[in-house]
Amino acid sequence: MFTLTLDAPAPGAARLRLAGHLDGEAARDVLHAAADVVRCGCSRLVLDLDGLTSWDADATYAVVGCTRLARWLPAGVEVVGGTRLQRDLVPAAAGRRAPSSLTRVGEHREAASPGDTMAACHAS
């Protein structure tokens, strides 16, 4: 089972929290949600992998696809996750030509803290 949650950790930013098993269908949902973040005019996207328990090969396409949206987000895309399992997904995605905006998982844990303030993502 897969769950995708959208919230806003800071003004102008959007965070996609992924939980459960990320398969091909769920990967498409993630990419559509990330594209909606760009369309709404957000300046930054945080892709939070903390809740992932497993994934298949299509999961890397979702991560890489999200990072490729960085060219339309002034503050870029950050990928975060806390466990070894989630950290393993990022190097696999980076090997598929992810842009330099891909942040190694675990480097910026404060961006995904559960106590963040909700803020609206303003349309441009």
- Whole-model pTM: value is 0.70
Q: What confidence score (pLDDT) does residue 119 get?
A: 39
What are 66-69's contacts with CB under 8 Å, separation 24+?
Answer: 66/16, 66/30, 66/31, 66/34, 67/93, 67/98, 67/99, 67/101, 67/102, 68/98, 68/99, 69/34, 69/35, 69/37, 69/38, 69/45
Q: What confidence score (pLDDT) does residue 84 get?
A: 53
Q: What confidence score (pLDDT) does residue 58 get?
A: 79
Q: What confidence score (pLDDT) does residue 100 get?
A: 34
CB-based contact 86:50 (threshold 8 Å): yes
Query: Would you give per-residue pLDDT tens digits along the chain (124 residues)?
Result: 999 999 998 889 999 999 999 999 999 999 999 999 999 999 999 999 888 888 888 788 888 889 889 899 999 998 887 655 555 665 555 444 433 334 443 333 333 333 333 334 443 3
Q: What confidence score (pLDDT) does residue 107 get?
A: 37
Q: What confidence score (pLDDT) does residue 80 get?
A: 86
Tell me the Ramachandran region of residue 50: left when phi exceeds 0, alpha when psi lies from -120 to 50, beta otherwise: alpha
CATH 3.30.9.30, applies to 2-112: no
